[in-house]
Amino acid sequence: MTVAPELSFRRELARKAIHLATALLPIAWSFGWIGRPAVLSLLSAGVLVALATEAARHRGGAFAARFDARFGALLRSHETRRICGATWLALGMWMAVALAPPAAAICALWAGAVGDATAAIAGRAANAWRRARGAGKSLVGSAAGALATAMGVLWLSPASWGEALLLGAVAALAEWPSRLGDDNLRVVLAVALAATLLGVR
């Protein structure tokens, strides 16, 4: 069954609310309201809950039925059989915080939380008919995601304008491949690696 464009857009907003909620982590960390240990602890708890949920829903039974009834409308078709994007996002963020320098990790968290969400929402809003029929990524969405990532990098880290724009481009490019794992994981790790190599600390 084809999803109506307006319903598809509403579903995308609901999905990306999870991303946007995690933007509190890089903001709080950047402004010193919480430290790296607290961020890592919160993400560790999130990863454990996400993995336990994945294991339970893939076993089937009553839990899987309740999960599908509550969240099934938010899942993409491939997520009904594989790991959800939210789980990949939690894993990517945990890896970035555990492995990257603080400022680079903050850039990566922002890219995953806000940059990727902005790309999806802007792309769906600008071309809802085309996107709702599985036509792929949107150039409008990628541009919006790159800009949102760059502005957040400038706001939350010591990166220069040039570095911020480059990291925005990295986030946009990391979102595009369709056969290289989940884009939530790719975006976070690609920005973490690029920011580290650029010396954003």
pLDDT, tens digit, 9 for 90 and up, residues 111-142: 999 998 898 888 777 665 454 444 456 788 89
As a whole number of angstroms, the distance between CA 129 and CA 151 comes to 29
Q: Tell me: the pLDDT tens digits for 4-34?
A: 344 466 666 767 777 789 999 999 999 999 9
pTM of the model: 0.85
| Structural domain boundaries, residue 79 | 5-198
User: How many domains does one find in the chain?
Assistant: 1
- As a whole number of angstroms, the longest Cα–Cα distance in the chain is 52
